[in-house]
Amino acid sequence: MGSDVRTSLARNRMCATGAALVAAFVSVAIVAFVYTPHDPREVDLAAKNLPPGVFEGERYAFGADAVGRDILSRTMAGASISLRVGLLVVAGAILVGVALGTLAGYYGGWADAVLMRLMDMLLAAPGILMAIVIVTVLGPGLRNAMIAVGIVAIPRYARVMRAEAMRVKGQEYVVAARSLGAGDWWILSRAVLPNCLAPLIVQATLGMGSAILETAGLSYLGLGDDPSVPEWGRMIAEQFGYVRRAWWTVVPPLVSISLVVLGFNLLGDGLRDAMDPRLRQASDG
């Protein structure tokens, strides 16, 4: 990362805010692996819909849900699940999308036509609707929800990689390497892929927020994991019927989803502004 990029990132308050939000949730997720105030799955019907406070000598900082489970503990554990889900979904989508986009952009011809028409088919409907269809076919469950969201995200990375591969393969240093006898694998690994990292990093950062939001949406619709798993979307769905008389049970997971998605979006926008020379000059000016 060049000095101009680092300077632009340091001056970008939006990027700094996003990075702080993401870092905060990552910290919560790490802490949740080793400590939560209560067992996130422990049921205590005596504490049903308990407001924030102390009950029978136990502190419930965010209150308890409809079956007496501690909201704070479940929200902390939900951060770990949501970030892990987002990371796995984005990683899988990038691997497949980069491979397909590279084939389409570098080789062109029938490979480009077939692969891009396949991407167009995936983009023909809104992402969440396509994900719902895929989960309906595969069956409910967090793993299948992740697969569905990952499949829907593939075109985003494939199209970025295709455009970059088409741009880079015509550069003079690539033409020179080919004229000197360099093979396709050498050109792809040493010339094409390294020069496509910047837009992929930006898309991956923005994609984390989308993956978390879409997975939470599927869980809210009952297409995610079982009710005992402290997943944010599922928590909102379970408590939505109590929102009028026990609003504190819905607010923590709802605010958590909003803030973590906002954090990744701000961070992604900041990275895009810093890594794009034209946008960097505009922001510096």
pLDDT in tens, 208-241: 999 999 999 999 998 887 878 899 999 999 998 8
With a cut of 90, say whether residue 151 has pLDDT above it.
yes
C-alpha to C-alpha distance for 26 and 106, rounded to whole angstroms: 37
Q: What is the CATH number of the domain that holds 10?
A: 1.10.3720.10
With a cut of 60, say whether residue 127 has pLDDT above it.
yes
Q: What's the pLDDT at 90? A: 96
Q: What's the pLDDT at 170? A: 79
Give every CB contact of residue 229 below 8 A, 6+ residues apart in sequence.
81, 142
Q: What is the mean pLDDT of residues 113-134?
A: 89
C-alpha to C-alpha distance for 221 and 141, rounded to whole angstroms: 11
State the virtual CA torsion across 128, 131, 132, 133 in degrees, nearest 10.
130
Q: What is the mean pLDDT of residues 28-54?
A: 91
Token match 């899988």: residue?
A: 92
Q: Is 223 helix (H, G, I), strand (E, B) or coil?
A: coil
Q: What is the mean pLDDT of residues 33-51?
A: 90
C-alpha to C-alpha distance for 236 and 217, rounded to whole angstroms: 10
Q: Domain tally for the chain?
A: 1
With a cut of 80, say whether residue 280 has pLDDT above it.
no
Q: What's the pLDDT at 278? A: 56
Q: Taking Cα atoms as reference points, which of 127, 94, 139, 100 lies closest to residue 116? A: 100
Q: What's the pLDDT at 277? A: 57
Domain containing 189 equals 3-284
C-alpha to C-alpha distance for 285 and 268, rounded to whole angstroms: 21
Mean residue pLDDT of the chain comes to: 87
Q: Is 92 helix (H, G, I), strand (E, B) or coil?
A: helix
Q: What's the pLDDT at 276? A: 66
H-type alpha helices, the chain? 3-11, 13-34, 71-102, 109-122, 127-138, 142-168, 172-179, 184-187, 197-220, 232-239, 251-275, 277-284
Q: In sequence order, what are the beta bridge partners of 70?
A: 64
Q: What's the pLDDT at 111? A: 86
